[in-house]
Amino acid sequence: MRKSTIVGTGSYAPEKVLTNEDIAKMVDTSDEWIQTRTGVKERRVISKDEATSDIATKAAIRALESARINPSELNLIIVATATPDFFFPSTACIVQHNIGAKNAAAFDLEAACSGFLYSLAIGNSFISAGLYNNILIIGAETFYNFLDWEDRTTCVLFGDGAGAAVLRPTTAENCVIGTYLGADGSGKDNIKLPAGGSRLPASQETVNQKLHYVKMRGKETFKIAVRAMGDAVLTVLEQSKISPDEIDWLIPHQANIRIIRAVANRVSLPMEKVIVNIDRYGNTSAASIPIALDEAVRDERIKEGDIIAMVAFGAGMTWAASVIRW
């Protein structure tokens, strides 16, 4: 079986910064509460003329530049997003057109915050199977328009952004070593955008009841996230025959600094080995891991040969983990 490796990364976050102080002017909250309970100081939000495909395209172009790959060489584009431009066409098709990747198949993948690692597992499998050579995977989200800016339990958490990576086959040891995916639909109501789909089509009533916004059971989600993310990292490490003390970097989904600390603790990793940027971006869902990865690659924290574990958790519920030798 062929192995795959990440040959380039890129990310993009919208320019507009929304600080905790800005949000404290909109709902009954404070910078102090948000920072201590979530770790977020500020987040980026899209402007009126920006949609998910726009920021996904910018991240994609940066990833292709760093991979030194021409868009026409791409065989497949996967966009992981829970906040697509449309139900259809897919955001991936729009990105494919924007970057001129004429020879690529394209589809969206919806696994909420776990979407980027689901995409990595799928891309890795296509390469292992010998079907494709150049695959672009993107995590991109624009939560701004799906948040109830009167609901302090959700609006303080999320942010907008996009991250991308290019996968290629390799014969070297620097490769995707293992991937692990999981889901439990019994938790489907824990994080949800209730209306607009076939279950509850858009109507004046759904708009009046604010059912086109994210609803979350924070406490339940928190507990399940800590357990599932810890289990997922340990499982993928065991499957990959890597021990926790071999990990150079853990890149966890940036949902809440307290979740991140609990997961690091479960894997017995000091926080110095954990990549954290939730303070600057909030929870960008499927984009959080690829943005953190791209930043750590570009500022050279991640070096050739490093063992990187990545782990995510999100609506569904879904979870995913992977190990890479960089």
Residue from 122, 214, 255, 321 binding ligand UT7 (CB under 6 A): 255
Quick check: 283 binds ligand UT7 (CB under 6 A)?
A: yes
Annotated catalytic residue 155: no
Cβ contact 115:80 at 8 Å:
yes
Query: Two tokens at 179?
Result: 């991937």
Distance (Å, whole) CA 224 – CA 230: 10
Q: Which among 88-96, 136-144, 171-179, 214-222 is the span making contact with ligand UT7, rule CB under 6 A?
A: 214-222
35 residue type, one letter: Q
Residue from 3, 31, 33, 61 binding ligand UT7 (CB under 6 A): 33
Residue 76 vs 216, nearer CB to ligand UT7: 216
Residue 2 vs 37, nearer CB to ligand UT7: 37
In the complex, minimum distance from the CB of residue 281 to ligand UT7, in angstroms, rounded to a whole number? 12
Annotated catalytic residue 93: no
* Annotated catalytic residue within 113, 124, 134, 175: 113
Distance (Å, whole) CA 172 – CA 255: 33
In the complex, minimum distance from the CB of residue 220 to ligand UT7, in angstroms, rounded to a whole number? 8
Distance (Å, whole) CA 191 – CA 112: 10
Quick check: 19 binds ligand UT7 (CB under 6 A)?
A: no
Quick check: 89 binds ligand UT7 (CB under 6 A)?
A: no
Quick check: 278 binds ligand UT7 (CB under 6 A)?
A: no
Residue from 259, 264, 311, 324 binding ligand UT7 (CB under 6 A): 259
Annotated catalytic residue 283: yes
Judged by the rule CB under 6 A, the positions of this chain that interact with ligand UT7 are 29, 33-34, 37-38, 113, 152-153, 156, 191, 218-219, 221-222, 225, 255-256, 259, 283, 313-314
Q: Catalytic positions, please?
A: 113, 253, 283
